[in-house]
A and B are shown apart, each in its own frame.
Chain A
Amino acid sequence: MTTLVREFTKGLWDEIPLFRIVLGLCPALAVTTSLENGLGMGLSATFVLICSNGLISALRNIIPDEVRVACYIVVIAAFVVCVEMVTKAYFFALSESLGIFIPLIVVNCIILGRAEAFARKNGVLASLADGLGMGLGFTLALVIVGTIREFLGAGTLGLIFGDTVFLSRPFGFLQQAPGAFLTLGLLLGAMNLLGKLGKKEA
């Protein structure tokens, strides 16, 4: 039980994707113009990650080693197609704003990376826990970036406060492409700084 909890929590801080191991950048940069998009993207990726981790781990003794990457991609792509259909049917607005980035979950390095690094060698339960942790860690990171960019860039936080405008003259620059790079770059720096301070105290 303790190991399961450990597999789950490592994704939230110690090995939080995006900030620690810089993977999954494309969606992180592209869809984080608002908190809502970030959350939607994060949850979609989490779902795919949990399912693919579980299934790949269950099939780990059947999949031949030589063609494993191709098999992983097929498994992942199948779940991504499910997500695509569900978002189109029930969350149409979200699927419009995420657009091309939902099919692109297939090539999100985090998902393939976890299959290769974890699910291939561990049991189903551990892999599910790992997928859940990593997915939520990724979601958390996207939510942070999305919140910063929406709050400072558009002056709103649509998901929580509706139409309330906090800043009358927001930095529209942050909503544009360069703003995404800058926000994420500075956040990485801040994470490193925090990590270092934490180590000194401990």
Chain B
Amino acid sequence: MESYFALVIGAIFINNIMLAKFLGSCPFLGVSKKMDTAIGMGAAVVFVLTLAGTITWVVDRYVLVPFGLGYIQTLAFILVIATLVQFVELFLRKAIPALYKSLGIFLPLITTNCAVLGTAIINIQEELDLLETILFSLASAIGFGLALVLFAGIRERFEISRIPKPLEGTGIGLVTAGLLAISFFAFKGMI
């Protein structure tokens, strides 16, 4: 039980997928200009990443490994993720239109979010079992969402602050992300 707890806390705070492992930097900087979009993207990632992590684990264990196809892992995983995203999109549009409307535009973007493929590969590399995979994927996604929402909160204030001209836009964004990453260092002593 304790090890599961450590896994979750570690994935959210200490090895935060965005601030410590740099996975998913493009959407992190791309959709963090407004709080609403950040929350929408965060929710979409939590949803897809947990599903994708679990499904790729199953595919790896029951299809790729038995048939000795480990070498096309990358190709297989990206296909699974792309199909899954399409499927989720279709399903949500029919079943839960309200959620589809709020997540809509972010779903296709998730295919190329390296946090998703990255977590799927880490799950396999670390040789996690199924329950650990689900927990780790969920926790990583929550960590990503947390970083995204915190960052959006800071970024909204840029509009009223005076920023040196050359640093406007992405430059100051990266510097801020750096400071945010430093503050996450404080969690290092927790486990």
Contact = CB atoms under 8 A, between A and B. Distances in A.
Interface string B172-191: 11111111011001000000
Interface residues of B, number: 44
B166 A81 contact: no
A81 B26 contact: no
Interface of B is mostly: helix
A73 B174 contact: no
A189 interface: yes
B29 A22 contact: yes
Contacts, number: 121
Nearest to B174: A185
A86 interface: no
Contact of A181 (B24, B118, B167, B177): B177
A177 B22 contact: yes
Contacts of A100: 118, 121-122, 125
Which of B25, B111, B168, B182 has the most chain A CB atoms inside 10 A of its CB?
A: B25
Contacts of A69: 82, 111
Given A25-B25, A107-B112, A81 B74 contact: yes
B173 A185 contact: yes
A158 to B, nearest CB: 21
Interface residues of A, number: 41
Contact of A188 (B23, B73, B125, B174): B174
Interface of B: 19-26, 29, 71-75, 78-79, 82, 111-114, 117-118, 121-122, 125, 164-168, 170-179, 181-182, 185
